[in-house]
Amino acid sequence: MNETVQPGFVPIEALTGPRGREYWRSLDDRDAAYTPEENEQFSEEGVAVSEASRRRFLSLMAGSLALAGVTGCTRQPTETILPYVDPPENVIPGKPKYYATAAPVNGVAEGVIVESHLGRPTKVEGNPDHPANLGATSVHSQACLMDLYDPDRSREILKLGVPQTWDAFQIAWEHAIGPLAARNGAGFRILTETIVSPTLGAQIQALLKKYPGAQWHQYDPAGSHSARAASMAAFGKSINTYYNFATADIVLSLDADFLACGRASTRYAHDFAARRRQGDRLDMNRLYVVESTMTATGGKADHRLGLPYSQIEAFAAELASQLSIPGGASGSQYGFWTTRVARDLQAHKGASVVITGEHQSPAVHAYVHAINETLGNVGKTVIYTAPLEEQPVDQIASLRQLVDDMKAGRVEVLLILGGNPVYNAPVDFQFADALNHVKTSIHTGLHFNETALKTTWHLPETHFLEDWGDARAFDGTVSITQPLIAPLYDGSHSQLQLLDALIAFPGRTPYEIVRSYWGANSGAGNFEQWWRKSVHDGMIANSALPAITLAVAKNVVRTAAAAAPNDSSMEISFRPDVYMYDGRFANNMWLQELPHPMTKLTWDNAIYLSPNTAAHLGFENQQHVELQLHGRTVWGSVWILPGQPDSTATVELGWGRWHSGRAGNGAGFNAYAVRTSDALWSANGVQFRKLANPYPLASTQMQQYMEGRQVIIENTVDYYKRNPGFVPKAEHEPEENLTLYPHWDYRGYAWSMNIDLTACVNCQACVVACQAENNIAVVGKEQVLARRAMHWLRIDTYYKGVPGNPTAHYAPIPCMQCENAPCELVCPVQATNHSKDGLNDMIYNRCVGTRYCSNNCPWKVRRFNFLLFQDWTTETWKMQRNPDVSVRSRGVMEKCTYCVQRIREAEITSQDENRFIRDGEVKTACQQACPTQAIVFGDKNNPNNRVSKLKAEKLNYHMFAELNTRPRTSYLAELRNPNPEFEPGAAS
């Protein structure tokens, strides 16, 4: 090192290089085969280079420059103002209003508060009082606005594709049901998804009472089939299980991605992270994950073991035997793990959780019940309640019976309330063919989907933000959902309204139906008061189902021990997609473009293979293959996923829709095409055949690559105890005065952010929240491939360790709001400037699109509108936009603003009220959505603020501090709590 360099200065070279490859984004990256030449700044792929000659280019440029000048001279178009005629009470134009309701997510309700600008719902936030999310939101709650405003929603009543009136439907209904009424309705069937709405349940029962011969079938492709089977076996009845992670010291997940998807994941992630921070992180919980594919939860684990789907049961059986549970199978295949995990669990009786995924086999569920019972967790960390479903049934048997009856001609009128069985029923049921035997079939839904194509009638449904209803949350808490907006389309009816009409036309309004149901069932003395409070709060007070105590039958009946898969007999497992779920969100553009946690795939699903298996099969990443399973085939691309168990493939359900709308059609491949009723979640004997045509996948994993610099700092809790100052600071950060920038004294507010890497679970809720709040455009698959996705906030996934079983590390990267911002210096038109409170402002109307700023940003957080990505024409999407944020056009750079519109709003409100902004008063959209509260935002000039306290912690560090840009966003280094017994050389 040059002797004249000032102390404290560390040259960049010393921090990059081999160290950067310790944490890798892809296998190429790990082997340092990924070169910066491929970086987006130098990438030409996807950039539309025209064949124009130099002369033509110059003449075009001269012309456009002249025109650019002329545009400055245009007069503003004349605008009109349309005031109310008779203004609603309490509506102040320019001030949003907030209403509580509940979003149905993964089959249960999540409490939300919806922001409404002059009657247009524009943003969904979590309801802080609701137990399912405690103020945070899942990706689905955030994205539900895209469903509401989806221009491809079904708008009119159709009979065989021809528009009809409600009256015509009534006549047709009476005509169809008339002959059946004489037979008590025999021949009339209802097919629903899982129903967790008490009022809807009562409505169906009322309809069945009118037609006692009718039958009610239920089918949810991603439902809790195994959990139900296990609880029938263990308790003799259906029950609901949920977990309390807030008091769980040890968590063992047997193939459950409980932090990032599934019922109550928002609450689970919240509790899990809170427990991880306990005692200044010195009293951290421990997470073991045994799983059949790499998930966000697995990446977070202190110890992770990848096992084929079929072997999880063997693992559970061995663990059960270690815990002396009858029915456990002694074995020593996983002895290293099971002995240690069992010891750890036994040392924390009553304070541990063993959880398994909805898709695991009933036997694993049964083992989990037995293990939790043995460990004394039941009633403490594991809560049993009565089922959430209005009528829990074996849904596969229920659908099978319906299909058999349909084929036998015993079904004359079939009412399909929601759902999409033509697309997602097990393929061996041949549901679409069976529909041909039904004389009158009626489908209701938000979309004219695959099932609607095959039924005689289709009735559009209202969105949950358009109508009254109710639903239960994971613990049974009931929310009455209130509408935020009148139905956008006249033809649409809610399921409640339709059923009421079918009982007796014309039927009551949904408001009357819900109100009258609760009028009879609330048990409140003063109903009006009870109703107003329940609607206002977004939930009915104390309506959670009471915990029940049950005797657990510990004799687990094992499925015949499955042989472990090998490369000649490979195993496939199916998962509901993290975002598409069972396929219902396929036309949701925000979710389509949301990068998947571990692969960063957008707009597609893929066949996940382990690096070893892919090498054995001779597949490169993104190889297009034909997947063959027992004579059925489907085409998809391979994605090599670190951490995927060898000889297994995992595919996600919910893709490959052919009639979902403009976003979902043709995105991904349809894994339902090979999913049969006897192998709902896993099957053996999958084979692959190479296809010639390439099928590229749009993954953002290697985009916005930061040159292999050190992003993640992490270590174990034990190490932290011994070396509290392990996060390099003194040698790392240059002195403050080592800069050519003039000094600026930040008086007043100094907005800053802290992100806790220990807490982040990569659920991506922040990314959608940011998109919704800041009017961020969706660009489509081709543009994502060209590295042009527009997300202002991204979560980078890094892997560490061996490709077969790596750990994963997540780094949310917003704009760092550097005090010495490199982007500002290079802007030739002063379109990005520093604000007095330290924000790095971006002024769109000044930007001429040189992209110098993006070039100079070490974090690559600036995103450029290469094309007109915003949809300026579709009317419904205009309604979603946040009026407090500019809608950007082509040729403009944009980036995270720390939600400056919220800061300025709070400043104005506080000054109107003659006070300072309180800590926590300004929440950025990402912070508000974050289930684990990993993101904290506030004024760092006040040492009592939460963000200041976090920044004072020993774990605090600035990413790329050596560059001396003095970022306002800092990170808390990640801590893990591995079991010392797993160390090589520790006593067994």
Binding site for another protein (CB under 8 A): 69, 72-73, 75-76, 78-87, 92-95, 748, 833-837, 839, 841, 843-845, 884-886, 897, 900-901, 904, 908, 911-912, 914
Q: Which is nearer to another protein, 321 or 901 (CB)?
A: 901
Consecutive H or E run containing 67: helix 54-71
Q: Which is nearer to another protein, 339 or 833 (CB)?
A: 833
Q: Which is nearer to another protein, 547 or 885 (CB)?
A: 885
Q: Considering the complex, what minimum distance in angstroms separates the CB of residue 741 from another protein?
A: 17
Q: Considering the complex, what minimum distance in angstroms separates the CB of residue 660 from another protein?
A: 33
The DSSP symbol for 454 reads H
Task: Point out which residues pair with 976 in neighbouring strands.
Answer: 716
Q: Which of 314, 302, 236 is nearest to 275 (CA)?
A: 302
Q: Is 44 helix (H, G, I), strand (E, B) or coil?
A: coil
Check: CB of residue 588 under 8 Å from CB of residue 143.
yes
Q: Considering the complex, what minimum distance in angstroms separates the CB of residue 922 from another protein?
A: 13
- Encoding tokens for residue 47? 């950039």
Q: Which is nearer to another protein, 573 or 897 (CB)?
A: 897
Q: Considering the complex, what minimum distance in angstroms separates the CB of residue 98 from another protein?
A: 15
Which backbone phi and psi does 828 adopt, to 5 degrees?
Answer: -75, -15
Bond into 506 cis (ω within 30): yes
Q: Considering the complex, what minimum distance in angstroms separates the CB of residue 830 from another protein?
A: 9
Q: Considering the complex, what minimum distance in angstroms separates the CB of residue 486 from another protein?
A: 15
Cβ neighbors of 177 (< 8 A, separation 6 or more) are 185, 188, 211, 413, 502
What does the DSSP assignment read for 845-892?
A: GG-----HHHHT-TT---EE-SS--S-SS-HHHHHHS-TTSPPP-TT-
Q: Which is nearer to another protein, 78 or 693 (CB)?
A: 78
Check: CB of residue 808 under 8 Å from CB of residue 863.
no
Q: Which is nearer to another protein, 212 or 748 (CB)?
A: 748
Q: Which is nearer to another protein, 519 or 883 (CB)?
A: 883
Q: Which is nearer to another protein, 577 or 894 (CB)?
A: 894
What is the C-alpha separation between 6 and 264, in angstroms, rounded?
53
What is the C-alpha separation between 471 and 106, in angstroms, rounded?
12
Q: Which is nearer to another protein, 137 or 832 (CB)?
A: 832
Query: Residue 694 half-sphere exposure, CB side, CA atoms within 13 Å?
Result: 6
Q: Considering the complex, what minimum distance in angstroms separates the CB of residue 263 from another protein?
A: 37
- Residue 516, classified by CB atoms within 10 Å of its CB into exposed (0-12), middle (13-18) or buried (19+), is middle
Check: CB of residue 755 under 8 Å from CB of residue 813.
no
Q: Which of 288, 289, 292 is nearest to 608 (CA)?
A: 292
Q: Which is nearer to another protein, 209 or 904 (CB)?
A: 904
- CA torsion 206-210-215-216 (nearest 10°) is -20
Q: Which is nearer to another protein, 114 or 839 (CB)?
A: 839
Q: Which amino acid is at 890?
A: R
Q: β-strand 607-609 against 632-640: which pairing, if any?
A: parallel
Q: Considering the complex, what minimum distance in angstroms separates the CB of residue 817 from another protein?
A: 11
Q: Which is nearer to another protein, 77 or 984 (CB)?
A: 77
Q: Which is nearer to another protein, 343 or 904 (CB)?
A: 904
Cβ neighbors of 462 (< 8 A, separation 6 or more) are 487, 492, 493, 494, 510
- Cβ count within 10 A of residue 215: 20
Q: Considering the complex, what minimum distance in angstroms separates the CB of residue 117 from another protein?
A: 11
Measured at the alpha carbon of residue 820, what is the angle toward residues 815 and 824, in degrees to the nearest 5?
70
Q: Considering the complex, what minimum distance in angstroms separates the CB of residue 839 from another protein?
A: 6
Q: Considering the complex, what minimum distance in angstroms separates the CB of residue 916 from another protein?
A: 10
Q: Which is nearer to another protein, 826 or 885 (CB)?
A: 885
What is the C-alpha separation between 331 and 317, in angstroms, rounded?
9
Cβ neighbors of 347 (< 8 A, separation 6 or more) are 250
Q: Which of 448, 447, 413, 407 is nearest to 431 (CA)?
A: 407
Q: Which of 474, 479, 552 is nearest to 245 (CA)?
A: 474
Q: Considering the complex, what minimum distance in angstroms separates the CB of residue 786 from another protein?
A: 27
What is the C-alpha separation between 735 and 737, in angstroms, rounded?
6
Check: CB of residue 131 under 8 Å from CB of residue 473.
yes
Task: Point out which residues pair with 100 in neighbouring strands.
Answer: 113
Q: Is 743 helix (H, G, I), strand (E, B) or coil?
A: coil
Q: Considering the complex, what minimum distance in angstroms separates the CB of residue 827 from another protein?
A: 12
Q: Which is nearer to another protein, 83 or 631 (CB)?
A: 83
With b for 16 or more beta-carbon neighbours within 10 A and e for fewer, the 398-423 pattern comes to bbbebbebbbeeebbbbbbbbbbbbb
What is the C-alpha separation between 289 and 808, in angstroms, rounded?
13
Q: Which is nearer to another protein, 632 or 915 (CB)?
A: 915
Q: Considering the complex, what minimum distance in angstroms separates the CB of residue 472 from another protein?
A: 38
Q: Considering the complex, what minimum distance in angstroms separates the CB of residue 120 from another protein?
A: 15
Task: Point out which residues pair with 752 in neighbouring strands.
Answer: 938
Cβ neighbors of 523 (< 8 A, separation 6 or more) are none
Q: Considering the complex, what minimum distance in angstroms separates the CB of residue 536 from another protein?
A: 22
Q: Considering the complex, what minimum distance in angstroms separates the CB of residue 769 from another protein?
A: 17
Q: Which is nearer to another protein, 72 or 618 (CB)?
A: 72
> What residue spans of 538-652 are helical by DSSP H?
589-593, 611-617
Q: Considering the complex, what minimum distance in angstroms separates the CB of residue 869 from another protein?
A: 17
What is the C-alpha separation between 757 and 714, in angstroms, rounded?
9
Helix axes 495-503, 198-210, angle to 10 degrees: 20
Q: Which is nearer to another protein, 86 or 678 (CB)?
A: 86
- Encoding tokens for residue 875? 């009317």
